Amino acid sequence: MSPIRPAVVASPDYPFTPVGAPVKLDQNEAPDDFPAALKAIALERMAARPWNRYPDLNAEGLAARIAAHEGWPAAGVVPATGSNVLIAQMVALAGIGARVLTVAPAFALYGLDARLLGATLTEVPLRADLSTDVDGLLQALEALRRESPATGGVVFVPRPHAPAGSLVSLDDLERLAQASTGWLLVVDEAYHHFTPDTAIGLARRHPHVVLLRTMSKGWGLAALRLGWALAADEVARQLRKLSPPFGVSTMQAVCAEVAFEHAAVLHERIALVVSERERMAAALARHPSWHVYPSAANFLLLRTPDAARAHAALRDAGVLVRRQDSLPGLAGCIRVTVGTPAENDAFLAAAGRVGG
Ligand SMILES: Cc1ncc(COP(=O)(O)O)c(C=O)c1O
């Protein structure tokens, strides 16, 4: 007999294999490193801190800085070591023994965590154009309520969607928020910096709506592993009980503090990524055999006649992208992160040579 729960044994490893390449466009990271001058400020500040002392119990100092930056009450900010930690915490908060409802395909962790933690998972397919089927989500929610009126759970909606890049409208999310009282509605805004608007107004109006944000994408600080939830005070108070004590390090807090103080530098970089995304999308729209989906994020999803072939040909040209073709409805699809202009040129040149 194994002491390991069957759900854990049955769970696949996280679907990622690290591969090196001169042009690395496979993980939706920012193309440029955090500026050296800002690293120096952070390191100097870190050197002045006592390393023998624990950080704040619940990252209170950092939460206050995040709150000031986001325009959200500090009592409703829950920082964590990456927003993916918060996805598991949200399932633990309201999904265990209850429900997780999301779209498919979507960011892998919603489904993985639901299965690992023992929530009943319902997935609503994206529409043919890879947009979020909010009517489908509403119908699924209604069916789940009918089946078991007293059981709630968590709804996960990525906005923009990952890996499609599509952007569910705020009006559609409003309908979903109105229909999902008694549940938590998590809007995963990992890529919100690349979109014209956010769901923060929705979260202000509906106390059961929780936003997840991260420093890994727009802020260009994936190495830091820092994300946070913006929630109503009471939801945040309960969510905090699931955070490990002293779980966010002094180093994470110091680097985030420096980043917030220099937000303008990083916003210039985001503007460049957005304009590069549009340049790449326009060039790819002329590809003879690939289809490019509109994206509101820092990546593009492409449907090719053969994802294995496209991936291998790009890799031979030194460009690493991510295959997405094993996901439901994404046959032939690859995903490319927007890189520096030179990296994007290298990708476009190689893509043009792939042909069919
Ligand atoms: C939609 C989405 N949510 C969350 C995350 C996790 O971000 P973090 O680096 O903060 O754990 C990612 C990372 O790729 C993502 O694509």
Q: Which of 164, 167, 103 is nearest to 334 (CA)?
A: 164
Whole-number Å distance, alpha carbon 212 to ligand 1 midpoint, is 9
Q: What is the pLDDT of residues 90-117, one digit of tens each?
A: 999 998 999 999 999 999 999 999 999 9
In a domain, 5, yes or no: no
Whole-number Å distance, alpha carbon 135 to ligand 1 midpoint, is 25
Whether residues 237 and 183 share a domain: the answer is yes
Global confidence as pTM: 0.97
Rounded CA-CA distance 59/189 in Å is 21
- Which residues does ligand 1 sit against, CB inside 6 Å? 28, 82-84, 107, 158, 162, 188, 190, 214, 216, 222, 227
* Res 179 pLDDT > 90: yes
* Res 356 pLDDT > 60: no
Whether residues 314 and 175 share a domain: the answer is no
Other Cβ atoms within 10 Å of 44 Cβ, number: 11
What separation in angstroms does the CA of 31 have from each of 27, 28, 127, 271, 272?
10, 9, 31, 13, 10
Best residue among 87, 107, 186, 248 to mutate for probing ligand 1, ranked by most atoms within 8 Å of CB? 107
| Structural domain ending residue among the three candidates 214, 232, 261 | 261
Q: Could you give the residue ranges of the DSSP H alpha helices within 156-298?
A: 170-179, 200-205, 233-240, 250-261, 263-284
Which residue in this structure is represented by tokens 């089927």?
133
Question: How does 100-111 read in b/e, with b if 16+ C-beta sit within 10 Å?
Answer: bbbbebbbbbbb
Q: What is the pLDDT of residue 328?
A: 95
What CATH number corresponds to the domain at position 154?
A: 3.40.640.10
Domain membership of residue 192 as a residue range: 36-261
Rounded CA-CA distance 63/230 in Å is 10
Give the angle subtended at the CA of 284 by the CAs of 279 and 285, to the nearest 5°: 100
Rounded CA-CA distance 193/43 in Å is 26
Whether residues 157 and 49 share a domain: the answer is yes
Please identify, by atom number, the ligand 1 atom nearest to the C-alpha of residue 84: 11
* Res 17 pLDDT > 90: no
Rounded CA-CA distance 130/127 in Å is 5
Whether residues 189 and 143 share a domain: the answer is yes
Question: Could you tell me the two tokens for 329?
Answer: 């409805």
What CATH number corresponds to the domain at position 272?
A: 3.90.1150.10
Phi, psi of 304 (to 5 degrees): -115, 165
Q: What is the pLDDT of residues 260-279, one digit of tens each?
A: 999 998 889 999 999 999 99
Q: 13, exposed or middle or buried, with CB in 10 Å at 0-12, 13-18, 19+?
A: exposed
Q: What is the pLDDT of residue 19?
A: 85
Best residue among 14, 66, 78, 83 to mutate for probing ligand 1, ranked by most atoms within 8 Å of CB? 83
Whole-number Å distance, alpha carbon 43 to ligand 1 midpoint, is 25
Q: What is the pLDDT of residues 20-69, one digit of tens each?
A: 899 999 999 999 999 999 999 999 999 999 999 999 999 999 999 999 99
* Res 14 pLDDT > 90: no
* Res 355 pLDDT > 80: no
Number of domains in the chain: 2
Rounded CA-CA distance 57/34 in Å is 27
Mean pLDDT value of segment 327-334: 97
In a domain, 75, yes or no: yes
- Percent of the chain scoring above 70 in pLDDT: 99
Mean pLDDT value of segment 224-234: 98
Contact 220, 30 (CB under 8 A): yes
| Structural domain ending residue among the three candidates 261, 293, 312 | 261
Please give the mean pLDDT across all residues of the chain: 96
Best residue among 91, 168, 188, 195 to mutate for probing ligand 1, ranked by most atoms within 8 Å of CB? 188
In a domain, 158, yes or no: yes
Whole-number Å distance, alpha carbon 282 to ligand 1 midpoint, is 26
Which residue in this structure is represented by tokens 């927003």?
83
Contact 333, 324 (CB under 8 A): yes
Whether residues 143 and 235 share a domain: the answer is yes
In a domain, 2, yes or no: no
Best residue among 216, 221, 255, 335 to mutate for probing ligand 1, ranked by most atoms within 8 Å of CB? 216
Whether residues 90 and 219 share a domain: the answer is yes
